[in-house]
């Protein structure tokens, strides 16, 4: 089972390989010392991660070729704009025209779009975002796997079900061997090419332990590794990059320093953002974003969240709803409505049309059973599947009733692929289009 299709290297310029996918060319940074023109590779997030034997690559490509073009055709059909503008808010209509003509969209335009209430106008917002996604990034959809290896956390975030607030949670900590087994399964049995390793802020794993975990996985089974251990410090980030991590998943949660301060005792937004900036400087791909529907959050805050995500040169936007957990101080607060989450996804696409990967989060799927399809049709183009062994996953309870809890990995893959195929998306990670 493959989530990335092999590409053929047609040119190498220093560390950059030009890779062809059925004639469509992309660039990938190569850290493979023996890479040469004519090799077939898997690339993830713009990194060449693995050379594949030619025979195996050609077999995979033969089975993919027809599907690849069929999917593109379906996607193109479903993302066509319908220019019928009855009952559309006039100002929003003008902004959509500007967006579609490639004009410059201002911050106040984006704010206006986030404030849309009219149903028909909202539908057109989602369609416009989907059109842009198709135009710039075609039909590729990232499918990353996530291993949540510890639910111990030293932090007291007011919304989080694995924070110190939750005294009733059964805590677990996977051993290195258990983590390797989970990674081995995800990569070799299920075919994931990109893995996120996530945990609470658990000091039981030293930076050296975390480095050992990253380097062992990477050397045994080449893949793209994202780390998500919370704030490990700039030196920690440097060591983890050296060990082989190439991505950082860390939300800034809220770009409003007051809200951030209220929700994260003993922590400040400045330090969170400095981590993200330092990681980008070190060469990490950044996955970040915020929570939607936090108490006291305004539409202007949401716009600022999107703008901050863009300013941080984010590879993948991760915006999900705040979901109240009964064992936390925010237990009584309501979650946001589905349309607020969709608006943020769509406006993120309009704010960053050409490069952004935008995730449909499990949190959104927990709020709304059709979230994946709705999100993917409103500008999003990424999903993450949980590949944590079931006996642990049930206790990674950041919010209640997590979507896909109790589903096996194969079951998740099957339903994801069925949905992706039905809307013409290819579960590949083809990186940025070559100009």
Sheet holding 224-228, edge to edge: 357-358, 316-317, 285-288, 247-249, 224-228, 194-199, 142-150, 382-386
Between 53 and 268, CB nearer to ligand SAM: 268
Chosen residue from 79, 139, 228, 255 binding ligand SAM by CB under 6 A: 228
- Quickly list H helices, 138-291: 176-184, 207-220, 233-243, 257-263, 269-282
Q: Taking the alpha carbons of 310, 316, 320, 326 in that order, is the dihedral positive or negative?
A: negative
323 contacts ligand SAM (rule: CB under 6 A): yes
Phi-psi region of 284 (alpha: psi -120 to 50; beta: other; left: phi over 0): beta
Of 150, 158, 193, 198, the residue at the interface with ligand SAM (CB under 6 A) is 198
Q: How far is the CB of 202 from ligand SAM (least distance, A)?
A: 8
Give least dist CB 128 to ligand SAM, A: 27
Span of 69-77, 304-312, 315-323, 375-383 interacting with ligand SAM by CB under 6 A:
315-323
Query: Of the candidates 230, 247, 389, 427, which one interacts with ligand SAM according to CB under 6 A?
Result: 230
Q: Pick between residue 19 and residue 292 the one whose CB is nearest to ligand SAM.
A: 292
Q: Which has the closest alpha carbon to 393: 376, 411, 370? A: 411
Residue choice 218, 325, 343, 372 for contact with ligand SAM (CB under 6 A): 325
- Of the ranges 116-124, 183-191, 193-201, 381-389, which one interacts with ligand SAM (CB under 6 A)? 193-201
Distances (CA, A) of 184 to 208, 240, 386: 21, 20, 14
Query: Which tokens go with 84?
Result: 């019928």
**Minimum distance, C-beta of residue 363 to ligand SAM, in the bound complex (Å):** 5
**Is 292 a residue that touches ligand SAM (CB under 6 A)?**
no
**Distance between CA atoms of 288 and 272, rounded to whole angstroms?**
11
Count of alpha carbons within 13 angstroms of residue 55, beta-carbon side: 0
Residue placing its CB nearer to ligand SAM in the complex, 152 or 421: 152
Stretch 102-161 residues interacting with ligand SAM (CB under 6 A): 159-161
Q: How far is the CB of 246 from ligand SAM (least distance, A)?
A: 17
Q: Within its chain, how far is the Cα of 306 from the centroid?
A: 14
Out of 320, 353, 379, 389, point to the residue binding ligand SAM (CB under 6 A).
320
CB-nearest residue to ligand SAM? 230
Q: Which is nearer to ligand SAM, 43 or 359 (CB)?
A: 359
Instruction: Using CB under 6 A, count the residues that bind ligand SAM.
Output: 20
The percent helix, strand, coil of the chain (3-state, each to 5) is 40, 20, 40
Paired strand residues for 315: none
In angstroms, give the least distance from the CB of 399 to ligand SAM: 4
The C-alpha atoms of residue 122 and residue 339 are separated, in whole angstroms, by 8
Among 45, 46, 200, 336, binds ligand SAM (CB under 6 A): 200
Residue 364 makes contact with ligand SAM by CB under 6 A? no
Q: Which residues contact 283 (CB under 8 A, 6 or more apart)?
A: 241, 246
17 is a contact residue toward ligand SAM (CB under 6 A): no
- Cα 106 to the center of its chain, rounded Å: 25
Contact status: 398 vs ligand SAM (CB under 6 A): yes
Chain positions 245 to 284 lying near ligand SAM, rule: CB under 6 A, are 250-251, 253
For ligand SAM, the closer CB: 105 or 294: 294
Render 71-116 in DSSP notation, one character per residue: HHHHHHHHTPPP---TT--HHHHHHHHHHHTTPPPPHHHHHHHHT-
- List residues binding ligand SAM (CB under 6 A): 159-162, 198, 200-201, 228, 230, 250-251, 253, 291, 320, 322-323, 325, 363, 398-399
């Amino acid at each position: 089972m493959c989530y990335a299709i092999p590409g053929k290297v047609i040119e190498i310029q220093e560390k950059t390989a030009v890779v062809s996918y059925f004639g469509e060319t992309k660039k990938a940074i190569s850290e493979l010392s023996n890479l040469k023109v004519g090799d077939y590779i898997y690339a993830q997030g713009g990194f060449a991660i693995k050379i594949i034997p030619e025979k195996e690559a050609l077999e995979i490509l033969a089975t993919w070729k027809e599907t690849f073009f069929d999917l593109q055709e379906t996607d193109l059909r479903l993302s066509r704009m319908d220019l019928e503008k009855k009952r559309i808010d006039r100002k929003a209509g003008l902004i959509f025209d500007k967006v579609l003509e490639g004009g410059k969209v201002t911050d106040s335009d984006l704010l206006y779009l986030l404030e849309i209430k009219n149903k028909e106008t909202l539908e057109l917002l989602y369609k416009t975002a989907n059109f842009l996604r198709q135009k710039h990034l075609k039909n590729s959809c990232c499918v990353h796997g996530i291993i949540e290896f510890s639910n111990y956390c030293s932090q007291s975030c007011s919304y989080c079900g694995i924070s110190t607030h939750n005294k009733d949670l059964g805590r677990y900590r996977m051993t290195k061997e258990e983590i390797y087994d989970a990674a081995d399964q995800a990569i070799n049995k299920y075919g994931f090419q990109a893995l996120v390793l996530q945990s609470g802020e658990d000091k039981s794993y030293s930076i050296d332990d975390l480095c050992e975990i990253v380097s062992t996985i990477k050397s045994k089974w080449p893949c793209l590794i994202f780390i998500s251990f919370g704030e490990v410090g700039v030196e920690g980030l440097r060591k983890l990059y050296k060990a082989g991590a190439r991505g950082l998943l860390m939300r800034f949660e809220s770009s409003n320093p007051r809200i951030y301060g209220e929700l994260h005792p003993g922590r400040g937004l400045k330090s969170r953002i400095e981590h993200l900036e330092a990681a980008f400087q070190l060469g990490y791909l950044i996955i970040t974003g915020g929570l939607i529907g936090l108490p006291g959050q305004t539409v202007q805050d949401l716009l600022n969240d999107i703008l901050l995500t863009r300013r941080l040169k984010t590879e993948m936007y991760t915006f999900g709803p705040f979901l109240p957990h009964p064992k936390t101080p925010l237990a009584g607060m309501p979650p946001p409505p589905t349309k607020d989450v969709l608006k943020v996804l769509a406006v993120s696409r309009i704010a960053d049309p050409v490069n952004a990967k935008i995730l449909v989060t499990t949190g959104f799927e927990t709020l709304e059973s059709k979230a994946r399809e709705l999100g993917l049709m409103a500008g999003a183009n990424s999903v993450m599947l949980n590949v944590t062994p079931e006996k642990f996953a049930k206790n990674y309870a950041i919010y209640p009733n997590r979507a896909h809890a109790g589903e096996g990995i194969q079951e998740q893959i099957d339903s994801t692929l069925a949905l992706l195929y039905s809307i013409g998306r290819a579960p590949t990670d083809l990186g940025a289009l070559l100009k």
